Chain A
């Protein structure tokens, strides 16, 4: 007992049903003092935060008071009988069986006050474990407005746990909640937790007990959520629902492609100005070349995509927070199940338009392993934002900026076509996988469509800051070092003194040698050794391809890197057939080390990561080959 008491930091876990406001409460309690990481082995986010207990929250009884709480925001679950990897984490942590997490000293059971008959079952299950529990009766304002009248002292007595009313989004009730939690932490050490998978009869009993408790403490029941019903009559309407979904997706892509260009152009101009400013102040030599051609051009070409990625994430966060994304899964279930995917796979696939990594991480809400695997294996085919720089460069350089039928821009149409291909490809491959390697029965769909809520701006901001941090860190580490590596490989060794005039310096470099070595393989696709040079580092991350091409061409021509001029240079040296072939290559190619690493971690096997890489490479090679040969036959070679 004293071993626990000695610690001035107690670990407390927040447990609750999905959509009970648990994360809002976590955000309200910890503010910015939080950290998101992954549990080792699986890609389930581990959200922890710290709360320093002030005077108001410190317990006034004897014994050493806890001065700081470490809060864990555990994935939402209906019961400890888990069905998804996410819910499994919650159970393992709560029971103290998780290898990488200490057992919480107390639990905060977060309960949606507007729906007690559904939420209290989990509280009863948690209470049976013997851990100290405080119940946070969240969304009390909403429940009150819906007419709920509740005798809190009866509820407390019937449940046998302290009940604190809270309104997480308005930060109400936090001090009393913390006071009770710290008091309970100080009082009781963790118990041994007995838990057994409940039988169906036990689940029935638990709900019967909930009904009995509610009969004793509820004086007036809350009315159903009228606004949600009204919105759903439109949003889930068989015809209008589909229209709303299309409009929402249309708005999202419009935002990504047009609104984002304003901040993106500003970043691009800033990077170019910075490069120029540095160039004017540095003496000629290898260091200047390294900084300007390698570092600034390389990192800058990737930072430009930050606005697009943030807009996409903002949309996905907001759609999820508001409760709409579950409706989208409902509307799309039929279409998804036609290709053998679960309705829930719609959300991971949609996220994959930003990046396959969060998309793959989002598959953890899919219960059936075979379903989940199918979604993981096709998510990287979705057109992620890292492909956009390559597409933008190639479309800008090779597709004339003219109008088709008077209104539609040809460049936009080609880009749309590329996205369409990146939408059809994952669905087709999923259908094939589900009929071959991943054959199995169709899984059940059981999905709660939560009450609509206004998305929390604070949660949105915290989420976006986290994404920005991850992206900038990636640009500053992986992409920075790759840019430097490409620069070194393409600058050294220098040409011999007796080199004939007219042969570019890069010809003699390591990069040139590698490019020429793999050229015979790439020739049938219409790629020459320079593309080979860019494909090799581009394997680490797709967007590096652009900076690699920039480096290769600027080093070759002995001029400074300038991404905007790169397109013109490519247009001068490639045929249309080559450009088309490269675009098609990018629809399929598995060029992202991070994705492969996440697939490895998520499936817990190198076998599936290797399978992913193999099938995507074969598809990419085949499709590029066909494209190039056809385009040449059309006379575009």
Chain B
């Protein structure tokens, strides 16, 4: 091996493998630069920023779609790109399509609500596309620095987006709180990352998993073992969890969420609650799977350089994909997890995520009850839903060592959840934004009797709210059912507790969502309010975005098929 082979392999990796797979993100980068150039050369009358942003995100989405339709994921095999900084597999491909599709819908929404006028449109769309780019990187991160970079790239533009309405006091307060909490947790997370990387001596996730397996944590934890190293690892993991919990707005790092949601415009809330959460959840999956599972390396020479003990450990744990396939085919499920050296890592992850999920879900639903502002209520609802989605991640990682096909099913449940959640929350915040433009209010009580002044919007909002509860005829029911199913499959006392609490939470959430439904549909209309007409395009937008909530409720198979196909080849 010499320098020439290094340069050659870098060139072939970058030009032939990585850049073609990275085309959607490149399109986003190009759009960002183009918007700036258009502004600099004063062509923004000819090419308004909205058109550029719309075209850019559509092109990116088009580049991200697989050539043979949404169900043809088999062609994508997991592979590392950019010399191991990112990983391209079906999960990142799916989430990328999700994020870019959201970006397209979001750009249209902001144009319709008029939050980005011609003066600040360029800034607004630059920030949106920049944050989307960061989220795409989060979804395919394969390296500790990529994780940090992705989170920063997604967060920093979001801080500005929260304060995008410059003159308002509340908006600037929301931005300040978001920025300070965000930067603080990012710092803590970086410290945790440094400890993790320092113990194992690598920042590349698969290599870390490899090293962790070689460390043999279970024997360290046994009496007489070197438990102090494990303490450092656990400390690093906890601090890494702080940063992730902030992005997921999981309790106890949720303080910013209601304040930011109340202060920021409703459109930005849609962005934060859908795209940001989806990216953070995917990153959580990446970390859980990246650290809790050793991928079989294609290099046969690997074993020869290691001491015999390490070989024995690695070869017993690193079950190659073929073994998994064989296990699945024969219906044999490897029940014993105790002998796997990475099971302590998984257990740590599962307990941490499951506890945070339980607390977030319960707290979010209880706190949402007393809210009078619709945006604050949705903030707590977002916290609760993020908790519910984290349960799917916990189940997936818990099942990882035992039954990979069930683990894939749990990830599929998560993907279905975020997909359905996109339509629910984008629809809800679109309604809030359009109504704000009409009646200058975001209080729940001002929505009284909406069904009479604005029937179509009220019906759609009701459908969304009922779907958010998770009642059967609507789309929100199916992902919740699948998450519960995965929790049941995962078994064990912790998972069953999570299952019971998840069920109870659905009942709690019934109360506050139905309260809004009651205000909209039953309460009398106040005399002071004039007629509300949203106009044709906003009404059409609401209809288009929220119709899937009903359609996928009746015909859930399509989304389920996409998600299951997308998770089939994860290993």
Q: Do A and B bind each other?
A: no
